[in-house]
Amino acid sequence: MKVVRAKHAGACYGVQRALDLALKSVADGGRAYTLGPLIHNPQVVEKLSDQGVTEVSAIEDAERGSSVVIRSHGVTPQVMRAVAAAGNTVVDATCPHVARAQKAAADMARRLGSVVVVGEAGHPEVEGIVACARESTERVYAVTSPAEVPADIEAPVGVVVQTTQQKDKLDEIVSHLRALGIEPEVKNTICFATSQRQDAAADLSEQVDAIVVIGGRNSSNTTRLFDICAAQCERTFHIESAAELDESWFSGVGAVGVTAGASTPEDQIAEVVARLERM
């Protein structure tokens, strides 16, 4: 069976940077804590815990005076202030692309008064972006479809987008606002790593008989890669690690594609590729 790797797959710049910063804070002395899992990859989180990076669910659970690493998704300004106020050192691993979206939302909220955030309400990245805008206005709306845009929204309106969204979604919301007679100010904050991985996955799914998508089941960008592949290739499988591969999935398969979400490190991809090659 031929194994074809997507042209772009696996750990993105922001995730790699967060991992490096977390390990550096441990190496610099003392313990490091993360609020929630550092990345959406249970295997990596477990490994980090062995290396001294502990996941906590509340700021009070982090030892006073220790380093608290802010995840690549970013946090709300309130959480950022609370971490510092609790006497901890803030290690800000917010991905620079996410920070750009937060800054754009805050800026448009100040200048325009209404902000639409194209993204899943409740996702930590979106919560952070929304909270940055809410420092200046209550008129901030996280939406994933035109139906969620308030019918009485009034110009001027700014639009930013969750870094992992698809461009079509942004275009759909912008067209809807235009149909309401509003010409919004748009900041396309979709990150290049995401679109590269999505385009490469779509290309790959046209060339192979089956596809394996590697990444955490709690990772939204991995789920999106799965959806893109499954739309073209019926035999698409989502796994977290090589141990889950089942030989029976590939009976009669001439070529299998491999892609991976932005929180999947290189060693996990290499392990899956090696195992598939042995099949």
Per-position DSSP letters for the chain, written without gaps between them? -EEEE-SS-S--HHHHHHHHHHHHHHHTSS-EEEES-SSS-HHHHHHHHHTTEEEESSGGGSPTTSEEEEPTT---HHHHHHHHHTTPEEEE---HHHHHHHHHHHHHHHHHS-EEEES-TTSHHHHHHHHHHHTT-S-EEEESSGGGS-TT--SS-EEEE-TTS-HHHHHHHHHHHHHTT---EE-----HHHHHHHHHHHHHHHH-SEEEEES-TT-HHHHHHHHHHHHH-S-EEEESSGGG--GGGGTT-SEEEEEE-TT--HHHHHHHHHHHHH-
C-alpha span between 267 and 98 (Å, rounded)? 26
Binding span for ligand F3S by CB under 6 A among 7-15, 48-56, 111-119, 170-178? 7-15
Catalytic residue status for 125: yes
Q: How far is the CB of 179 from ligand F3S (least distance, A)?
A: 29
Residue 205 marked in a binding site = no
Among 8, 71, 97, 238, binds ligand F3S (CB under 6 A): 97
Among 14, 37, 124, 128, binds ligand F3S (CB under 6 A): 14
Q: How many residues bind ligand F3S (CB under 6 A)?
A: 14
Residue 108 binds ligand F3S (CB under 6 A): no
Q: Which is nearer to ligand F3S, 76 or 165 (CB)?
A: 165
Q: Which is nearer to ligand F3S, 163 or 268 (CB)?
A: 163
Q: Which is nearer to ligand F3S, 157 or 228 (CB)?
A: 228
Residue 162 binds ligand F3S (CB under 6 A): no
Q: Which is nearer to ligand F3S, 43 or 137 (CB)?
A: 43
Write the CA distances from 78 to 6, 39, 59, 66, 84, integer angstroms: 39, 21, 12, 19, 10
Single out the catalytic residue among 125, 127, 135, 271. Answer: 125
Residue 98 binds ligand F3S (CB under 6 A): yes
Residue 40 marked in a binding site = yes
| 178 to 197: interface string for ligand F3S, x by CB under 6 A | -------------x-xx---
Annotated binding site for [4Fe-4S] cluster: 12, 95, 191
**Contact set with ligand F3S (CB under 6 A):** 12-15, 72, 95, 97-98, 163-164, 191, 193-194, 262
Which residues are marked as active site?
125
